[in-house]
Structure 1
Amino acid sequence: MDKLLKKLNAAQREAVYHQRGPLLILAGAGSGKTTTMATRIAYLVAKHRIRGENILGLSFTRKAAGELKERVEKMIAETSGPEFAKGLTLSTFHALCVRILRARASEIGYSPDFTILDEKDQGDIVKSILRQMKLDDRKFDADLIKFEIGQAKNRFYSPDQARDFFLESGRLPEDYAIAAANVYEHYQERLAALNAFDFDDLLFQAVRLLEKSDAAREFYNRKFQYILVDEYQDTNPSQFRLLRLLTESHDNICVVGDDDQSIYAWRGADPTHILEFGKHYPGARTITLDQNYRSTSTILDAANEVITKNRKRHPKRLWSENGQGEPITNLIVEEDRAEAETVAEEILRRRENPDHPRRWQDFAVLYRSNPQSRLFEEALRMRKIPYKIVGTLSYLDRREVKDTLSYWRVIQNPKDDASFRRICNWPARGFGKTTLEAINTSALANGTSLFEACEEAVKDDPNGENLSAAKSPGLSPKAVAAVRAFIELIRGMRADLDSTPLDRSALSDWGKRTLAKIRVKETLLEEEKDDPALAERRWENALELANALGQVDIEGARAETAEYADLASGAKAALRASAGDLTTVGVLSKFLQAMTLDPNEDDDEDDTPKDEVTLLTLHGSKGLEFPVVFMVGAEEGYLPHQRTIDGTGPEAALGFDEERRLAYVGITRAKTHLVISRAKFRVRYGKKVPRLPSRFLEDIPKSLLLVQDESEAPEPTTAEAKEAHEAKVKDFMASLRSRLQGTP
C-alpha cells in the first residue's frame, strides 16, 4: 500500500486516509481524481478491512465505471489479494437502479422482467399519444415533449406535479406546457401497461421504491456502508434523493467533483448539490485537489482568469509543475469558412513540424454546437486529413443492431410491445401495417400484449380448426400465416435459449443461431444490393452483438441474482422463486440491460485508438485531453449561446455561469497548446453577419495571448451585431408564423 501512497501528492493522500464521515473532494481539471478514488477504495480494503461487498462506487458512464473498476481491482490485487475485491459494486447510477428494481419492482406495480425502452421507443409512444389526444404534431413536437418529460423525472416530479413545473420553467408556452403534462400522464400509464421503464424512469422509480419500502432501504443501507460518487456536480435531484436514501443510517459518503465543470443544467444537473454539500451532510470535510498534471501554467492561468468571474463557486486555483509553455494563440479570421481553412492548415503545419512532429490524434477541434462541424469536415477532407466526429451515429443506433436487440428483447420478454412493433415485419414476412393494427385492436380490447394477441389470433380449437376469424376480425388467411410464422420463430428461439448451457461460448453460439434464423445476412444483402461492401459492414455489426453476448459477466449476473433473492426474502414466494437461480434468460436480460443503459455515451464498437483528428462539442470533450486543442467559434452567440444572451431574470444569470464553465472546460482540455479562434463575420443565407468576440475571450489577460489576425476587415461594432441579430430574429418569427398558419 505504501508504494501506491508514495505516488500521490499530499492532498490526494489526505483524501485516501479519511475513513468515516462525509467527505467532499474538490478535484480540479486534470488533478488525478480517478487515481485518488481508486487508491481510497483499495486503502479501505487493505487498512480498514472493509469488505468489497460493502463498498459502492458510482459513476455516470459505463466507461468511467469500467476504468475505475479496472484500477481498483488491480490495486486491491497488489495490496490485499484479488479475492478481496469480490462483491465490490462499481457501476453507473442507472445500472444500480436496475438492480434495485429487478429485486422488488412488484412493490410499485411492475414485474421484475420489465423492459427498458430506448430513445426511439420513447419517441414512438409519445407520438402515438399525441395522435390519440388529437394534438397537431406540426405544433407540438414529440421530441421536445419527450425531453421535457425527462426533465420532470430528473427533478422527481410526478405527472400531477409536472404541470406547474412546465408552466413555471418558462421554456414552453402555456398551451404547450399543459399538453406536455397531459402527455406525461398518459405516457406513464402506457409504460405501466407495457411493464417498461424509460431511461429516466430507472432513477425515478428506484427512488420511489426506496421511499416506499423500509425493508429495501434498510437492506441497501446495511450493504453499502461506504459510498463514493464521481462527478458529483452533475447529479440531478433524483440522484441526490437516491444518495440521501442510501445513506439514511450512516454518513460514510465521499463525493468527488468540480463545481467549475458543472455543465449539464439543461439535463437536470444541479450544481448546488456540490456547492452546499456541507449543508446537506453536516460535519463534512473538504479536501481540494488543485495540482494539475495535464496542462501548462499558461493554459491554467487563462482558465483560472475565466472561471473566477463566476459568482457562486468553491474557491480554488489550478497550478502545475509542467512549465509555463507556449502562449495561447488567438486566431482571428474574416469569415467562418476561412476559420475552418486556417485551422486545417495549422494542423498540417504542426503535424509536419520537424522540431516537434505530431500525430493526427494529438489534435482536437472543439465547438459549441454540432452544426459548426460541417466546414471543418470539408476543410479536413480537402486536405486528406483523417478525422472522426464524436457524438454522431453510435454503434447501438445502427438499424441492424437495434433490430437484432429488439428480437432478443422479445425473446426475453414477449410482452415488450415496443420491440415487437419494430421487428414483427423485419425481415418482410407479410406482417404489415394492416395486420399490426388488427392485432393492436385485439390487444387493447382484451388488455393483453401484442404477442399474446398474436397467440390468441392463431390459436386452434381441439379439432384443429383455426379460430382467428372470430378472435381477430380483419386478418386474412395470408396474414394469419404470417403471424403464426412470427410467433413460432420467437418461440423456437426462446426454446433454444432455455436449453443453451450457461456458458459464454454457448451463449455466443446461440446469438449467431438467432441471426441465421432471422436471416439477417440475407436481408442486409438484399437491402444493400447496390453496395455489397456496406451490406458486409452491417452484417459485421450484427455479428459483433453475438460476440459481445459471449463476453457477458456470468459470475456478476449470478451475484446479482443471489442479491435479488436475499432482498426478496421478505417478499412473496413467487418473487423469491424468480430471484433464486440464474438462467440463460437472466444472462440475456443482463446483457440487454447493459446495451440499453447510458444512451448518451459514445458507443464506438472499436475502442482501439486511431490516428485521426477528433471533432467534438465542448460538452462532449469533458473528461478528455489532447496535446493541441482548437477551440473554435469564440464569439457572442456561440459562447455564450444566443439563448443565454436573449434570456432574462435570474435564470439568465445562471445560464451565463454555466456558459463560463463550458469555456473553462474547453480551455482545460489542452495539454501543451491551445488555439482559440473566431470569425468577424459568418455567412448566413449568402449574407455576411457581423460577430463580436466572446466575453470569455476578453477575460483572458493579453499577456497570455499571441494574436494572429488573418483578416484585413475592421472589427464589427456592437450596434452592427445587434442590428443583424434583430433582423435574423424577425425573419425567423415571420417564417415560424407562416409555418404554423400553413401558408407557403
Structure 2
Amino acid sequence: MGSAPSSKPGSGLLDGLDPEQRAAACAPRGPVCVLAGAGTGKTRTITHRIAYLVRSGHVAAGQVLAVTFTARAAGEMRTRLRALGVEGAQARTFHAAAMRQLRYFWPRVVGDQQWDLLDGKLRMVGQAANRVGVNTEAEVLRDLAGEIEWAKASLVGPDDYAAVTLRAQRDIPEPAARVAEVYRAYEEIKNGARLLDFDDLLLHTTAALEEHSAVAEEFRDRYRCFVVDEYQDVTPLQQRLLDAWLGGRDDLTVVGDANQTIYSFGGASPRQLLEFTRRFPEATVVRLERDYRSTPQVVELANTVIGAAKDRPAGSRLRLVGQRPDGPPPRFAEYEDETAEAEATAHRIRELLDSGIPASEVAVLYRVNAQSEAYEQALTELDIPYLVRGGERFFDRREVRQAMAALRTAAARDADRRGDLATVVRSVLHPVGLSEQPPSGGAAKERWDALLALVELAEELENTVEAPELARYVAELEQRAAAQHPPTVEGITLASLHAAKGLEWAAVFLVGLAEGTVPIQHADGDSGAIEEERRLLYVGITRARERLELSWALARGAGGRRQRRRSRFLYGLLPEHHPAARAGRPQPKAAGKRTSCRVCGCTLTATMEVKLGRCTGCPSDVDEDLLARLKAWRVERARELKVPPFVVFTDATLVAIAEQRPVDDGALVSISGIGANKLERFGAEVLAVVHGSGSR
C-alpha cells in the first residue's frame, strides 16, 4: 500500500506507519477491528487513527472516548495524542470513564447525595462472611472477594451464582450456596452504607444509560467515536457498558490479540473480539504482525510456544515477524533449587548492569507473587536496586508527596517563572532531597531516584510541548497521580507475569518455569486453563526486546528432593546440545491408569478425559450431593494444612471421584491425579466421604 496523497487531510500524519498500520489508521469511519500481535505498534496505530479522524474532520476531539484496561496505558495514550496535537480526546480506563459519567449524571438519576467509592472490599466481605457464618481468615476473604468480583463482571447475581459456577466448574473457596450467601450479604451491607465498589461504577452507569433516555441522549450527543484497547480482555459487564455507550451506533474501533487473553479468571473473554465481524459484517479488519519490539530470536521462540496451542480460533492465528536486527539466542538454565536459581539470576543481572544496561531495562518475571522473596534477597545481597510491581504506589511515597507540595507552591508563587523546565524542577526539589550527587545506596538512594524521575518527567514534557511552564508540568503530575501513571524509576522490576502485561524491557528473566508453577498446579486437568497458562508464558516472552533468559529449579529448598521437571511448554524449545534438553521428560502414565472411556470404551487422550475416565461428550453421572460433601471436606482439610484447596485436590479430581464413586484404595488410585502420596495422605478420608460416614 503506497503513501497517501499529500492533498488528503492528515496525510503527513501517516508518515512512518507501515502499510498495515496505515490501513488501520485511515480506515473508513465505522467498525474497525485491529488484530494486533505483541510489539506490533498497536498504541501508535490507534492514536494515529484518532488523530487522523480528528484532522480529517470526521469527528471533533472532544467527541472521542478511548478506553483501555490500565491507568498506565490510558496515560500513555493521552501523552501520544498530545504529541500528535490532539487535545480534548478522552483516554481512560473503563472504570475511570464510568466514574466520571456516573458522578455527572447522579443528581439526575438518583437525586440525593452521591455515594462514596469503597476503598477495598475485604473488610466488608469479612462482615458479610461473619454474618452468614463463613470462615473469615484473610486468605478465604480474598478468595470470596475475587468470586464476588468475577460474578459482578460476568453479570451474575447472588441468586444465579450457584447454578452458573456449577456449569462453569469454577474452583471456588466455599460451597457455591455459601458463597452466594456471602455475596448477597455483602451487597446488602454495602448498599446500606451507601457505598459503591468498582464494579458498581460500571453497573450503575450502564443502568443510567439503559433506563434514562434523556441521560443516554445527552451522552451519545457528547461522544460519537469509541476506541477500545485490549479488547480480548473485556468482561460481559464492560461489553454491556460499551453497548450502552454505542446505543446502536457502529463508530467503533477495537484492538486486541486473543493470544494475550490471560484474565479469564476475572471474567474476561476474547469472544467479543473473535466474533466482531459476525456482529459487524461490514467491519474493516486489519492484522498487525510486524514485531518492532523484539529480536527475531525472541519472536521465533514466542511463535513456537503459542503455535503449539490446541484448537486456536482463526482470529488468534497471528504469526509475528521480527523487524529488528538479530540478537542473542534465548538462554535456558536448570538449577538444583530455587535459592541457586535466584542467586544465579542476580549475578547475571549484575553482569548486564556492569555492561551498561540501565536497571530500569531489566525485569524478573514469575508466576506467583510469593516467588519474589528469593529474588529480593539475592538482589539485595549484590546491592542491586529493585522495584516490586504491585508494591507501594509511586505517588503515595512520602518523598513524592513532599515534592509535589513543593512544586504546587512554586507554581502558585511564580506563575510566570520562565527557564528550562527541568532545571526549574530540579531547583525546587533540591531542598526536598534531590542533591547533585546520588547517595551511595539503600533507602536514601531509592528516595533520590524517585525525585530524579520527576525531573526526567519534566524533560519528557519539554520534548512534547513547546516552552511548557511549571504550572503545566504540575497539572501533568496531578493528572498522572490521579491515574496512577508513574514515571520510570531506576531499579530492576520484579513482577508477576500478569502484572507485566503491557510492559517491556531490554532484558527479561522468566524464572520458576517448572511443572506445577507454569502451568500452575490447579490448572492441570482443564484444557482451557492449561492453554491460558501457555498464553501467560507467551506474554512473558514477548516482554523482552533483546535478551531473554528462562530458568527452572529441580527442588524448592537447598538439599530438597530433585523431583521437579521443567514446564511442559519448554519441551522442544531447548537446543539439542543443552544439558537439560533430555533431562526431566514427562514420565509415561503409571500402569493401571484408565485409558479408555468407561461409558463408550473409546481410547482417552486428553488430560481432562483421562482424569474423568470418560469422553467429554459422554454423559456425566456425577453425584452432586457427594461432590458438595467432597468440596466441603477439601475446604476443611486445606484450612488445617494452610494451603489453597487445589493443593489437596483439583476440582476436576473431585468431579471424577463424584462420578466414579470409588469403593476402595484400588478404585481410588485408578483415578488420574491420585497417586501413592495422595492416597496415603487423603485416601481414607475421601473414601469415608464417599461412603457417607462423615466429612473426614
TM-score by length of 1: 0.65
Q: Quick one: distance in 2 between partners of 1:344 and 1:109?
A: 56
Match of 2:161 in 1: 162
From the superposition, tell whether residues 329 and 214 of structure 1 become closer, same or farther in structure 2 (CA, over 3 Å). same
Aligned length: 536
Q: Quick one: distance in 1 between partners of 2:223 and 2:264?
A: 29
Q: Quick one: distance in 2 between partners of 1:654 and 1:398?
A: 40
How far off its partner does 1:699 sit? 4.5
Q: Quick one: distance in 2 between partners of 1:211 and 1:638?
A: 44
Q: Quick one: distance in 2 between partners of 1:613 and 1:175?
A: 38
How far off its partner does 1:206 sit? 1.6
Match of 1:100 in 2: 101
Amino acid in structure 1 at the alignment position of 2:366: Y
1:707 aligns with 2:578: yes
1:21 aligns with 2:22: no
Residue number among 510, 528, 533 corresponding to 1:659 in the alignment: 533
Q: Does the 8 A contact of 1:221 with 1:249 survive in 2? A: no
Amino acid in structure 2 at the alignment position of 1:18: A
Amino acid in structure 2 at the alignment position of 1:630: F
Q: Quick one: distance in 2 between partners of 1:716 and 1:683?
A: 22
Amino acid in structure 2 at the alignment position of 1:103: Y
Q: Quick one: distance in 1 between partners of 2:160 and 2:478?
A: 32
Amino acid in structure 1 at the alignment position of 2:508: V
SS of structure 2 residue aligned to 1:91? strand
SS of structure 1 residue aligned to 2:334? strand
Amino acid in structure 2 at the alignment position of 1:176: P
Match of 1:247 in 2: 246
Q: Quick one: distance in 1 between partners of 2:83 and 2:676?
A: 59
Q: After the TM superposition, which residues 62-461 of structure 1 pair with which residues of structure 2 at under 5 Å, given as runs?
A: 62-76=71-85, 85-86=87-88, 88-105=89-106, 109=110, 111=112, 113-119=114-120, 122-137=121-136, 141-171=140-170, 176-310=175-309, 311-313=311-313, 314=315, 315-353=317-355, 357-394=356-393
Match of 1:476 in 2: none
SS of structure 2 residue aligned to 1:622? coil
Q: Does the 8 A contact of 2:336 with 2:562 survive in 1? A: no
Q: Does the 8 A contact of 1:111 with 1:195 survive in 2? A: no
Q: Quick one: distance in 2 between partners of 1:397 and 1:157?
A: 35
SS of structure 2 residue aligned to 1:68? helix
From the superposition, tell whether residues 365 and 592 of structure 1 become closer, same or farther in structure 2 (CA, over 3 Å). closer
How far off its partner does 1:505 sit? 5.2
Amino acid in structure 1 at the alignment position of 2:370: P
Amino acid in structure 1 at the alignment position of 2:502: G
From the superposition, tell whether residues 372 and 736 of structure 1 become closer, same or farther in structure 2 (CA, over 3 Å). farther
Match of 2:660 in 1: none
Residue number among 17, 34, 55 corresponding to 1:8 in the alignment: 17
Amino acid in structure 2 at the alignment position of 1:238: L
Q: Does the 8 A contact of 2:75 with 2:480 survive in 1? A: no
Q: Quick one: distance in 2 between partners of 1:167 and 1:664?
A: 30
Q: Quick one: distance in 1 between partners of 2:186 and 2:583?
A: 55
From the superposition, tell whether residues 273 and 534 of structure 1 become closer, same or farther in structure 2 (CA, over 3 Å). same
From the superposition, tell whether residues 266 and 211 of structure 1 become closer, same or farther in structure 2 (CA, over 3 Å). same
Q: Does the 8 A contact of 1:660 with 1:696 survive in 2? A: yes
1:626 aligns with 2:627: no
Q: Does the 8 A contact of 1:690 with 1:724 survive in 2? A: no
Q: Quick one: distance in 1 between partners of 2:296 and 2:110?
A: 56
Q: Quick one: distance in 2 between partners of 1:387 and 1:173?
A: 35
Q: Does the 8 A contact of 1:140 with 1:176 survive in 2? A: no
From the superposition, tell whether residues 129 and 734 of structure 1 become closer, same or farther in structure 2 (CA, over 3 Å). farther
Q: Quick one: distance in 1 between partners of 2:217 and 2:443?
A: 53
Q: Deviations over 1:413-459 (max 9, x none)?
A: xxxxxxxxxxxxxxxxxxxxxxxxxxxxxxxxxxxxxxxxxxxxxxx
Q: Deviations over 1:167-189 (max 9, x none)?
A: 44433569632122122222222
Amino acid in structure 1 at the alignment position of 2:336: E
Q: Deviations over 1:225-278 (max 9, x none)?
A: 111111111111111111122222310100011111111111211111211111
Q: Deviations over 1:619-667 (max 9, x none)?
A: 111111111111111221111111111x3xxxx1111121111111111
Q: Quick one: distance in 2 between partners of 1:290 and 1:203?
A: 33
Residue number among 489, 505, 510 corresponding to 1:609 in the alignment: 489
Q: Does the 8 A contact of 1:27 with 1:33 survive in 2? A: yes
Amino acid in structure 2 at the alignment position of 1:616: A
Match of 2:429 in 1: none
Amino acid in structure 2 at the alignment position of 1:208: A
Q: Does the 8 A contact of 1:191 with 1:197 survive in 2? A: yes
Q: Does the 8 A contact of 2:331 with 2:550 survive in 1? A: yes
RMSD between aligned residues: 4.0
Q: Does the 8 A contact of 2:511 with 2:552 survive in 1? A: yes
From the superposition, tell whether residues 92 and 393 of structure 1 become closer, same or farther in structure 2 (CA, over 3 Å). same
How far off its partner does 1:76 sit? 2.4
Q: Quick one: distance in 1 between partners of 2:256 and 2:178?
A: 37
Amino acid in structure 2 at the alignment position of 1:657: E
Q: Does the 8 A contact of 1:364 with 1:630 survive in 2? A: yes
From the superposition, tell whether residues 129 and 114 of structure 1 become closer, same or farther in structure 2 (CA, over 3 Å). same
From the superposition, tell whether residues 401 and 204 of structure 1 become closer, same or farther in structure 2 (CA, over 3 Å). farther
Amino acid in structure 2 at the alignment position of 1:707: H
Residue number among 674, 677, 689 corresponding to 1:727 in the alignment: 677
Q: Quick one: distance in 1 between partners of 2:478 and 2:358?
A: 37
Amino acid in structure 2 at the alignment position of 1:297: P
TM-score by length of 2: 0.69
Q: Quick one: distance in 1 between partners of 2:333 and 2:677?
A: 28
Q: Does the 8 A contact of 2:13 with 2:52 survive in 1? A: no
1:644 aligns with 2:523: yes
From the superposition, tell whether residues 216 and 75 of structure 1 become closer, same or farther in structure 2 (CA, over 3 Å). same
Q: Quick one: distance in 1 between partners of 2:395 and 2:685?
A: 36
Unaligned runs of 5+ in 2: 1-9, 402-409, 414-441, 451-476, 591-671, 688-696
SS of structure 1 residue aligned to 2:181? helix
Q: Quick one: distance in 2 between partners of 1:127 and 1:174?
A: 14
SS of structure 2 residue aligned to 1:640? coil
Match of 2:549 in 1: 675
Q: Quick one: distance in 1 between partners of 2:369 and 2:503?
A: 18
SS of structure 1 residue aligned to 2:513? coil
Unaligned runs of 5+ in 1: 78-84, 403-502, 507-532, 542-590, 738-744
SS of structure 2 residue aligned to 1:683? coil
From the superposition, tell whether residues 294 and 173 of structure 1 become closer, same or farther in structure 2 (CA, over 3 Å). closer
Amino acid in structure 2 at the alignment position of 1:36: T
From the superposition, tell whether residues 139 and 733 of structure 1 become closer, same or farther in structure 2 (CA, over 3 Å). farther
From the superposition, tell whether residues 99 and 656 of structure 1 become closer, same or farther in structure 2 (CA, over 3 Å). same
Q: After the TM superposition, which residues 576-591 of structure 1 pair with which residues of structure 2 at under 5 Å, given as runs?
A: none
SS of structure 1 residue aligned to 2:175? helix
Q: Does the 8 A contact of 1:682 with 1:690 survive in 2? A: no
State the identity as a percent: 34
Q: Which has the higher contact order (CA 8 A, sep 6+)?
A: 1
Q: Quick one: distance in 2 between partners of 1:139 and 1:369?
A: 18
Q: Does the 8 A contact of 2:140 with 2:173 survive in 1? A: no
From the superposition, tell whether residues 110 and 682 of structure 1 become closer, same or farther in structure 2 (CA, over 3 Å). farther
SS of structure 2 residue aligned to 1:718? coil
Higher helix share: 1
Amino acid in structure 2 at the alignment position of 1:622: K
Match of 1:55 in 2: 64
Q: Does the 8 A contact of 1:290 with 1:317 survive in 2? A: yes
Q: Deviations over 1:540-567 (max 9, x none)?
A: x9xxxxxxxxxxxxxxxxxxxxxxxxxx
SS of structure 2 residue aligned to 1:681? coil
Amino acid in structure 1 at the alignment position of 2:169: G
